[in-house]
Amino acid sequence: MTLTVRLDPDLEKRFESACRRQRATKSAVVTDFVRAYVTRQHGPSSYEIAMKLGVVGSDRTGPRDAAAKAKKYLRRAIGAKRPR
């Protein structure tokens, strides 16, 4: 695939200079940047990472229905600290 990229003159000079210093072609550098960008965009979600690390659902000390009955448990916690 052929890709055309427009760079301002200063950025173009800096890019060419960096490629020469690294002894890399402009095409190879752009390909690496595109590959890194696509990988970041399609990487695992935060949830998938948490599942892999085993931190999702790891709290076994609280009630199992805490998400469904959060208001009930919050009222109970607040009421226990401040009597009415």
> What is the pLDDT, as a whole number, of residue 69?
85
What is the Cα–Cα distance from 7 to 23, expressed in whole angstroms? 20
What is the Cα–Cα distance from 15 to 7, expressed in whole angstroms? 9
What is the Cα–Cα distance from 33 to 27, expressed in whole angstroms? 10
What is the Cα–Cα distance from 6 to 27, expressed in whole angstroms? 14
Q: Is this prediction's pTM over 0.95?
A: no
Average pLDDT, the chain: 84
Q: Which two tokens stand for residue 35?
A: 């590959």
**Cβ–Cβ under 8 Å, residues 50 and 56:** yes
Tens-digit pLDDT profile for residues 17-32: 999 999 999 999 999 9
